[in-house]
Amino acid sequence: MGVEPHRPSDLRIFLLLFLFLNFTYLATSSGRVRTIDEIIVDLEAESLATRGSTAVPQAVAMSSFYGKLDREGEPQAPYGAAQAAFVVPWYLLGRLARATLPGIPAPARDIVLDAVVTSSSATFAALAGALLFLVLARAGLPVTEAAATSLIASFGTPLFAYSSWFFSEPLAAALLLAAAFVLFSAPPSSPTSLRRAALAGLLLGVALWVRPAHLIAVPVFLLAILARGGKQGLAPACVLAAVAGAFGAGYLFRNAMLFGSPLDFGYPAAAEGGKRLNTFETPLATGLFGLLLSPGKSIFLFAPPLLAALAGVSRLARRDRGLAVLAGVMPVVYVVFYARYTQWEGGYCFGPRYLLPAILLAAMGLGPLLTECGPATRRVVFGLAVAGFLVQVIGMSTSFLEDQATGAYYDAYWNYRMSYSPLVSQSARLTHYIASHAPAPLGLGFDRWFVFLAKGGVSWRTLGVGLFLELLGALTAGWVLVRALSRKSM
């Protein structure tokens, strides 16, 4: 049995949600590649597109190399090539844009290319938000509540913020949600087919090639299959494990070919200040405090709707035990895993970056809660969504790197400062720029693509046309979406 066709109305809502989110995220993108993680993947995409290689000699020339020399002496990134491969179409589109659009001076061509590459995150994030709707709609939730859950997660969690930056987490979230949809889009009474399991295993395998740490999601998916299907889930679970395992074995083979050992992932032995980053030396209590309670990384502070979503997992279990396992167990696994990771804070970034894929899966619990709860609970959920939206706006309005590179983020030994509070410091920075009459230098100030590119010399006429088209697309898709949802609720 293959993947069953979806109801046309649900697919239409899915498409409208995707278009609305994609246009909105494009309009609010930062358009900038700034941290070492972003730079390396950007250059890896360039190498794949221009030379068919994952080596990044450009990073060495820029003094921005993070990775390791392979056995041939070529500098390699410490990540799989999946994100870079997915981004190649945006790289080619960026080259076309900088060569053909008017009003782009020669010195600004590279930042225009980077702005187009960065916009790939908007599409991946939009796909993740729309897939969340599709998973819940297929689970039998009313379309309006499923759509509301998608919108809350899309604007009230770090998915909104990370749609504007060039990190891998939006792509990983989309892949994990796609795997959930493939596995559990049939009714719970129907056993998971081997074909579905194989396709889900492929999606999870690709996620491993985005970042190998997503291996921790595979056992949770296996548990979800067994929780839903019992003994009938054994064969599909074995198929998923085999397919995902083949991708994992391929990654180990890649390591052996490049670096001489399957367990050498290409990370440098040390980074800033000689600190070893890619170990698991953080005390569990320290990491848990940071990811749960600290003012700079708390999953509940940066994704307030998660509080309501976790409360809805038990209701989700009554509808689909498999989805409930993903929603309830995945965030626990990600929190515990990264709590021990040396660089648990995610490097220079806003909020709990590494937890974003798990946050999106946990958000599935919102759907049943909204469907079954009363007006008072709905008001609480709405309040949490608004709070989450304001958190993301604070983080997106000014550059998190500008705020963190002041010494407030890391101490002299490159240890994360638990007292760091971006909601306070970035709010103060935003207030400063609003009140200041002097224009901020290139790279500082308001963190939006049209502001950044204008400072880089790109014509405001060209930027204005682009922004107008994105806003027009968002308004049109949003209007059609509202009309479609209104008809569904009648």
pLDDT single digits (tens) 253-300: 999 999 999 999 988 876 666 677 778 889 999 999 999 999 999 999
> Does residue 155 form part of some domain?
yes
C-alpha–C-alpha distance, residues 330 and 277, integer Å: 24
Provide the 10 A C-beta neighbour count for residue 89.
14
Per-residue confidence (pLDDT) for residue 414, from 0 to 100: 87
Residue in the block written with tokens 């000689």:
274
Beta strands in 62-220, from DSSP E residues, in sequence order: 68-69, 75-76
Provide the percentage of residues in the chain whose pLDDT is more than 90. Answer: 84
Query: Does some domain include residue 39?
Result: no
**Which has the minimum average pLDDT: 6-10, 149-153, 230-234?**
6-10
pLDDT bin (cut points 50, 70, 90) of residue 192 is: confident
**Inside any domain, residue 420:** no
- On the CB side of 258, how many CA atoms lie within 13 Å of its CA? 27
Q: Are 90 and 120 in contact (CB under 8 A)?
A: yes
Rounded Cα distance between 78 and 17, Å, is 34
**Over the stretch 20-76, which tens digit does the pLDDT of each residue have?**
999 999 999 999 999 999 999 999 999 999 999 999 999 999 888 888 999 999 999
Supply the pLDDT for residue 3. Answer: 43
State the virtual CA torsion across 424, 23, 114, 69 in degrees, nearest 10.
80
Tell me the pLDDT band of 188, cut-offs 50, 70 and 90.
Answer: confident
Section 395-406 average pLDDT: 93
Confidence of residue 412 (pLDDT cuts 50, 70, 90): confident
pLDDT value at residue 191: 81
Residue 425 CB partners (closer than 8 Å, separation 6+):
403, 408
Is residue 234 in a domain?
yes
Instruction: Write out the two tokens for 104.
Output: 């782009």
State the average pLDDT over residues 323-344.
96
> Is residue 462 domain-resident?
no
**287 found inside a domain:** yes
Distance CA 410, CA 33 (A): 21
> Is residue 452 included in any domain, yes or no?
no
Residue 2: pLDDT band with limits 50, 70, 90: very low
pTM: 0.95
- As a whole number of angstroms, the distance between CA 173 and CA 158 comes to 11
Average pLDDT over the chain reads 93
- Closest listed residue to residue 15, CA positions, set 481, 485, 361, 470: 481
Name residues whose C-beta falls within 8 Å of residue 203's C-beta, 6 or more positions apart in sequence.
175, 176, 178, 179, 182
Residue 319 domain boundaries: 8-32+119-397
Q: In this predicted structure, what is the pLDDT of residue 202? A: 98
User: Confidence band (pLDDT; 50, 70, 90) for 443?
Assistant: confident
Count: domains in the chain: 1
Kindly state the tokens that stand for 102: 């008017």
User: Which residue has better confidence, 269 or 417?
Assistant: 417
pLDDT over 70 (residue 478)? yes
pLDDT tier, 1 (very low <50, low <70, confident <90, very high otherwise): very low
Confidence (pLDDT) at 273: 62
- Within 8 A by CB and 6+ apart from 409, the residues are 296, 348, 403, 416, 417, 420
Checking if the pLDDT of 489 tops 70, the result is: no
Is residue 27 situated within a structural domain?
Answer: yes
